[in-house]
Amino acid sequence: MVDAELITRVLEQLPEGVIVVDADGKIVFVNKSAEKIRHISAEDRVGKHIFMCHPPNSQKSVDRALQYLQKEDTKTFVRMITDHENGKYYENTYNPIRDENNKYIGSMVISRDITDSRKLEMARSNNLKEMEEKVSELKEKLSQMFISLIFSLINTLEAKDPYTKGHSMRVCGLASKMAEYKWGLSPIKDQVELAAQLHDIGKIGIREEVLH
Q: Are residues 153 and 107 in the same domain?
A: no
Domains of the chain: total: 2
Could you tell me if residue 126 is inside a domain?
Answer: no
What is the domain range of residue 203?
A: 132-211
Note whether 22 and 108 are same-domain residues: yes
Q: Does residue 32 fall inside a structural domain?
A: yes
- On whether both 136 and 102 belong to a single domain, the answer is no
Quote the strand ranges of the chain, DSSP E: 17-22, 27-30, 77-83, 88-98, 104-113
pLDDT(197) > 80: yes
User: Average pLDDT for residues 84-94, to the nearest whole number?
Assistant: 86
Q: How much is the average pLDDT of 169-189?
A: 89
Q: Is residue 125 part of a domain?
A: no
Do 60 and 156 lie in one domain? The reply is no
Residues 168 and 197: beta-carbon distance below 8 Å: yes
Q: In degrees to the nearest 10, what's the CA dihedral of 47, 67, 78, 34?
A: 0
Q: Do both 13 and 90 map to the same domain?
A: yes
Q: Rounded distance, CA 125 to CA 134, Å? A: 14
93 and 43, same domain (yes or no):
yes
Let me know if 157 is exposed, middle or buried by CB neighbors in 10 A (0-12, 13-18, 19+). buried
Q: Would 122 be classed as within a structural domain?
A: no
Q: How confident is the model at residue 127 (pLDDT cuts 50, 70, 90)?
A: very high
Are residue 149 and residue 48 in the same domain, yes or no? no
Task: Say if 67 falls within a structural domain.
Answer: yes
Per-residue pLDDT of 12-44, as tens digits, reads 888 899 999 999 889 999 999 988 888 888 888
- pLDDT tens digits, one per residue of 93-122: 989 999 888 889 999 989 898 988 889 998
pLDDT of residue 1: 44
**CATH code (residue 106):** 3.30.450.20
- Residues 93 and 27 placed together within one structural domain of the fold: yes
Share of residues in the chain with pLDDT > 70 (%): 97
Classify residue 102: in a domain, yes or no: yes
How far is Cα 181 from Cα 179, in angstroms, rounded to an integer? Answer: 5
Residues in the chain: 212
Q: What single DSSP character describes residue 175?
A: H
Q: Tally Cβ neighbours within 10 Å of residue 81.
A: 15
Answer whether 31's CB lies under 8 Å from 21's CB.
Answer: no
In order of 110, 158, 185, 191, 198, the CA distances from 179 in angstroms are 62, 24, 8, 9, 16
Provide CB contacts within 8 A for 69, sequence distance 6+. 94, 95, 96, 104, 107
Q: Indicate the residue among 57, 82, 113 that finishes a domain.
A: 113
* Same domain assignment for residues 66 and 31: yes
In a domain, 187, yes or no: yes
78 and 16 in a common domain? yes
- As a whole number of angstroms, the distance between CA 19 and CA 35 comes to 9
